[in-house]
Chains A and B, each alone.
Chain A
Amino acid sequence: MSNAPGSTKVDEAVGRRRILVLFAHPSLERSEVNGPLAAATARVEGVTLVDLYAEYPTFDFNVDLEQERLLAHDALCFMYPLYWYSTPAILKEWQDLVLERGFAYDAAAPALQGKVFFNALTAGGPEAAYCAAGYNHLTIRELLSPLEQMSRLCGMVFLPPFALFGARTAVEDGRLAGHIADWVRVLEALRDHRLDLAAAAPRTKLNADLDAIIRGA
């Protein structure tokens, strides 16, 4: 997918995708996974990390600034712990206010057209619960269908979620370091156009078999 549709915005100078990660965790001081994950994200070159709860503790968004941020990046990622099968409240409010009609949709030139959109989430339940036979009945991708439809309406390329299940025991099971390494690898591949978007798009989750969708290094 290095020759993405012409509307995909690519930094002319570097030729890399600029990635905007909107991070939402309402009680970061208790976080075991998302905190370290966010810290690792901030260290990846070419990635902008925005801690929404820190920047807008009263949900009082600066819509202009948020829209400028979107325009300045080629890929958008929501990063959060799953709350009631969806994002924490601030990310919903962010969509309600920032993805304005005339800007993100129903516009002569939709601002997000061709950008990549995906989620990076952690879920408390085990992976086995997220299927028709499991107690959650739906896959993680199915649960995120409002977000998938949002990105479709805005003309964005939707990728399946980068998900960590059983997050409450990830640290004691020793799964955190590997998860962070995978995450950094995905970010770098997406940035350098080494992530095969077409191969990744139909999956249930992004981080199932990274070797199959990442080329090179």
Chain B
Amino acid sequence: MEGMLFHAFVYLAAAVVAVPVAHRLGLGSVLGYLIAGILIGPVLGLVGAETKDIQQVAEFGVVLMLFLVGLELEPKLLWQMRGRLLGLGGLQVGLTALAIAALAFSLGLYWGLGLAVGLVFAMSSTAIVIQTLSEKGLTKTEGGRASFAVLLFQDISVIAVLALIPFLAQPEPLALAAWLSAAAGDNSAAQGAAGLVAGLPNWGYALVVLGAVATVVLGGHYLSRPLFRYIAESRLREVFTASALLLVVGTALLMTLVGLSPALGTFLAGVILATSEFRHELRSDIEPFKGILMGIFFITVGAGIDLPLLFGDFATLLGLTLGVMGLKALVLLALARLFRLRAGDRWLFALSLAQAGEFGFVLLGFCVQNGVVPTGLARTLSLVVALSMLLTPALFILYDRLIAPRLRNGKGPAPDTIEEEGTVVIAGIGRFGQIVNRLLVAAGIETVVLDHRADQIDLLRKLGIKSYYGDASRPDLLHAAGLARARLFIVAIDDRDRAVEMVDYCRRTYPQVRILARAYDVGHLYLLKQAGADLAVREVFDTSLGLGAAALRELGMHPYKVERMTRAFRRHEAAGLAGMYDLWDQDPDIARNLALQARIREHVGTLQDALNSDRMQLHDRTERGWTPPSRGFSREPD
């Protein structure tokens, strides 16, 4: 217990100290975590042997991250990017691996060894790249999307590479036996897998894998929704968080049991749930866990660096690292040109993916197990992988400082990147929010609707209205709904106090978003204005006025006269509200605020004058000294 607490303390303290500093210096959080790891590991020696165990836990962060990535990608989108996925990704992995293999072969190494090393280095770091791209807001750029497609292909191809590696061993007597048995089709794909599928024939294994994938797809699609709805109705927030984690852990476990990559499985689960109404809630529940675990993962990478070996032959290692990164960047640049990315995106694409990644460690370990790569060489190569990951933030800085500004300052206006249209986030989809949403959607505006009543969301979804479950007063959920990128935030919930809190929070956190709010009455309207709402409207004002107008028409008054009177009423009311705010601000309690009471009496008293003024104008007659008072407006009737 003590040991665990101590290690938790050391890891957290290192992160808390190093990450904000790195961030402040513009280095990005990933480099901060890596530096923290180096400090507590090889430099201070505070942590040591247990990093391996911790790394296993931390790798779960990658799994969570891919779940979140999947959650952002609807199946439709995934299908749209199939060309890039296979073309860009396939060529990147294939060409990089072949180039390195050819180089190794020309140096007299065994071809299998060369190819294995090539495959190890072909992988980039999903963790670093996606984290950094989203931190810098580059995920939606062409370069960001292309990078993502390649990373996704790499993650998928790891499974195939794991199956291929046993065939690459040099056919020495001992390794030959393994090679032969593998070649004989003896459960080759499951070499690295444990559990359920050991000892199954190939067709059986294929069936189990298909079954597992089907379980994720069908379960995610049909079972998760009723389950989440049931849990949501219990209104126990921590149980919802627990069930979200359960979903991810369960999927990962299932995939591990059948020998598939857990990251890939949860990615699939994420894609399935991307269209679900619980998407934002799931995202905001999982995100904190992912953030912390990813951080720890990077710390373990830093802590695992073998400093004596590193400094023993630093020049060679650095040369090797730069060589690998240069080669990868060259391949990436060529592909970017082939796939017609623009200049800026081309550099972003090449620089962001030039490092080797965390799958490199996994593959190296597996190569050693299979006798493909000797242990000593593997240790050196591990260092190269780590070193290249360590250098990645520097490449992003290079892009930020040197390439991006130059592109912006180039001749002519910078090419327009197609930004996502500013969305409108609507909190509360009861009677009020529904009307607002219908008008906006019919006008072609993209809205994100949130409500905390699962049954209401369920009903709306059946009626074809896109909406999400979630308590909109929770900051993390608002963030997940994209409030940072939204243009408008519409607060249409019933709960008066929460509405004010929400407006206040949004105004402080997202000053650029305009806030429109539903007010219960004048006092509430003032509170909302005070909290920072750009516009607040009383929920029943318009309808009441409409019914009043109908009553006047029922009584035989000419409809256009009624219309003019209601307009005058509206103007009178608006002027009164604006005029009373200062008095209200001095003391919101009307019962005690005598000045406010007097002003309200006056406001009510002047209404009749306002309505009967022939001018239909609300004004102070004394201002119009140049108009003979007896005349007023004498528009001749048509």
Contacts and interface: CB of A to CB of B under 8 A. Distances in A.
Interface of A: 58, 60, 62-64, 96-97, 100-103, 109
Given A101-B631, A103-B626, 10 more contacts: A58-B567, A60-B567, A63-B615, A63-B617, A64-B619, A97-B635, A100-B633, A100-B634, A100-B635, A101-B633
Interface residues of B, number: 11
16 contacts: A60-B567, A62-B617, A63-B615, A63-B617, A64-B619, A97-B635, A100-B627, A100-B634, A101-B631, A101-B634, A102-B627, A102-B628, A102-B631, A102-B634, A103-B626, A109-B626
Contacts of A64: 617, 619
Contacts of A58: 567
Interface of B: 567, 615, 617, 619, 626-628, 631, 633-635
B468 to A, nearest CB: 32
Contact of A103 (B567, B617, B627): B627
Nearest 5 CB-CB pairs, A to B?
A: A102-B631, A102-B627, A101-B634, A60-B567, A63-B617
Contacts of A102: 627-628, 631, 634
B138 to A, nearest CB: 34
A102 B626 CA distance: 8
Contacts, number: 23
Contacts of B628: 102
A60 B628 CA distance: 24
Contacts of B631: 101-102
Contacts of B567: 58, 60
A100 B615 CA distance: 10
A100 B627 CA distance: 10
Nearest to A60: B567
A112 B542 CA distance: 38
Contacts of A103: 626-627
A92 B635 CA distance: 13
A22 B42 CA distance: 75
Contacts of A96: 635
B445 to A, nearest CB: 15
A100 B632 CA distance: 9
Contacts of A109: 626
Contacts of B626: 103, 109
B566 to A, nearest CB: 10
A109 B628 CA distance: 12
A71 to B, nearest CB: 10
Nearest to B628: A102
Contacts of A62: 617
Nearest to B632: A102
A9 to B, nearest CB: 16
A100 to B, nearest CB: 6
A195 to B, nearest CB: 30
A152 B531 CA distance: 53
A102 B632 CA distance: 8
Nearest to B635: A96
Nearest to A108: B626
Nearest to A62: B617
B412 to A, nearest CB: 22
A96 B633 CA distance: 11
A62 B631 CA distance: 19
A89 to B, nearest CB: 13
Contacts of B627: 100, 102-103
Contacts of A97: 635
Nearest to B623: A64
A101 B628 CA distance: 10
B261 to A, nearest CB: 51
Nearest to A99: B635
B613 to A, nearest CB: 11
Nearest to A101: B634
Contacts of B617: 62-64
